[in-house]
Structure formats: structure tokens, C-alpha cells
Amino acid sequence: MKHWQIDDVAWDRFDPALIDPAIVPLVKAAAMVERNGIDYAAYLGGVFADDPDFRAAADAWAIEEVQHGDALGRWAMLADPSWDYEAAFARYRAGYKVDVAATSSIRGSRTGELIARCMVETGTSSYYTALADATQEPVLQQICRQVAADEFRHFKLFYDHMRRYLAREQISLMRRLRIAAGRIGETEDDELAYAFHCSNEPDALEYEHKRCMSAYMSGAMGFYRFRHIQRGMGMIFKAVGLPPRGRLSDISARLMWRLVQYRQRRFAARNQQVPHAA
């Protein structure tokens, strides 16, 4: 059961005067990745083939992710009536493939897979909270709040299953940390950059990772405030099995906050240098 429906959104409150134009391309890109959740559920189905409870939970999870894509996509079409969500997604899907035929996790264990999922949900819950806090446009704000609430629940879902597998697989703290850090680092892989390309750039312009990543990240990272990073760090700590609150988590949050600000400036500088489509 979904916790909310697209028709629950107060679409009639949409106010174009309150749109920050810089937010629109980011919402379009995010819609691509969210909608692709359905393929990730197919991958999880293969990895957890003999665990019907988890598979059912993953299928329900994917339906919520697809709704995130559909809600963000619908908002982006209000913000930019010339944009076609379905066409952009078809383009993304044709070029970005999740290995739906996998029978074991690319993380080396089921615990590792679930820790990686926790990292993704940490990232999305923080991001949509930051976006909701940053936007003045009431419909986008409502969508981002609902989506963020789902992402926090998704974290809890994957965390609970992870604990179950950890009791069985007993992978070390070091390995858990490596998997978590590895998945966080993958944020800068093609998934988001290519989503930015398909949802914002013309067909004629060839995909280039660096250009798309800097365009996406310079905008996205700018929405974060320290409180979002702090909460996210607590979730990362919890997922790997460290105390979510305390000195170590605090110091890590401060370091991460500096890193986010530094990376945002770097991406913004790079974004100024590269030629863009629009």
C-alpha cells in the first residue's frame, strides 16, 4: 500500500511565479532515476530469489519509487510545458541499464546489497528534504515532503532486512564501511549524470559525463544545509553499525559538510567552463 497517491497532491496550488528556474532541470533528472526503480526491483528479485518476504517488500518499494518519478515528472511538465516526461524516460531507459538478470549482489553479499540500498535512501531522503526546504513553490514542496517521508521509510525497510542478513552473514565493520563509502562515491557515476542528459539536453548533443555531472551536482549540492548532512550522517552510521549520535558522527558530519561545499564549488566552476546545450 502506497502512503500517498499522486491525486493527493494539491496540483491546483501550482504557482509558476514561485519557481526557481534552476530547480527545474534537477527535478527532471531526478524523475528519471526514481522511475527506474522498477528495474532495480527486478535486480533485487534475482539477488533475493529465495526470500519471498523481501521480494514482496522490494516490489512494493519499487511502486513507490515509480510514483516519485511520476509526481516529479508531472510537476516538471507544469513548470516546463514543452517537456515530455515519457519521452525523456524512454530515452533514459534505452541508454541506462540495470542488470536485471543478476543472481547475486554486485556488493558481494546480501548484507552488502542492503547497506548500499540504505546509502541510496539516505541520499534521497536528505536530498528531497533539502529540496523541500529550498523551494518556495507549494506543489513541489508538498511532493518533496511526501517523497522524503517515503525515502526515510525505505531506509528503515532496507535497514531491518540488513540486520537480519548481517546476523547470518556476519560481514565485518570494515567491509560494511567500504561498501557504504563505495556506494556514496557512485553518486558521481553515470546514473544521475545520464539522467540529466536525457531529461535536459537535445538528442543531437552527445552525452558527456563531466559536463552533465557538473551541471547536475553544482545545482543539487547547493540545496544542502548542515542539518541535512548531519541527519544523513547519523543514518550512514546507523546502517554500518556505528552509534548514529556522538562525537564521531558529529565530526564526520562536519567533514562531510565541508566536502559537500567544496565539491559544489568545484562543480560550479567546472559548469561555468564547459559549453552547454541551452
Give residues in contact with Fe ion (CB under 5 A): 34, 65, 68, 121, 124, 151, 154
Nearer to Fe ion, 125 or 271 (CB): 125
| Alpha-carbon radius of gyration of the chain | 18
Q: Which is nearer to Fe ion, 5 or 272 (CB)?
A: 5
Give whichever of 40 and 194 is closer to Fe ion, judged by the CB atom: 40
- Provide, rounded to whole angstroms, the least separation between the CB of residue 158 and Fe ion: 9
| Least spacing, CB of residue 221 vs Fe ion, in Å | 18
In contact, 105 and 47? CB cutoff 8 Å: yes
Cα within 13 Å of Cα(11), Cβ side: 13
Q: Which residues contact 78 (CB under 8 A, 6 or more apart)?
A: 11, 14, 16, 139
Write down the least CB distance from residue 60 to Fe ion, Å.
11
Contact 179, 146 (CB under 8 A): no
Considering the complex, what minimum distance in angstroms separates the CB of residue 134 from Fe ion?
Answer: 18
Nearer to Fe ion, 34 or 113 (CB): 34
Rounded to a whole number of angstroms, the minimum distance from the CB of residue 148 to Fe ion is 9
Of 123, 112, 92, 130, the C-alpha closest to 187 is 123
Nearer to Fe ion, 171 or 220 (CB): 220
Q: Which residue has the cell 548484507?
A: 111
Minimum distance from CB of 149 to Fe ion (Å)? 10
From the number of C-beta atoms within 10 Å of its C-beta (0-12, 13-18, 19+), residue 272 rates as: exposed
Contact 28, 199 (CB under 8 A): yes
Nearer to Fe ion, 161 or 211 (CB): 161
Helices assigned H by DSSP within 103-246: 110-134, 138-169, 173-185, 190-200, 209-220, 226-240
By the 8 A CB rule, do 195 and 33 touch?
yes
Question: Do the beta carbons of residue 196 and residue 92 sit within 8 Å?
Answer: no
What element of type H or E holds 268? helix 247-273
Q: In terms of CB distance, is 34 or 137 closer to Fe ion?
A: 34
Least gap, CB of 37 to Fe ion (angstroms): 7
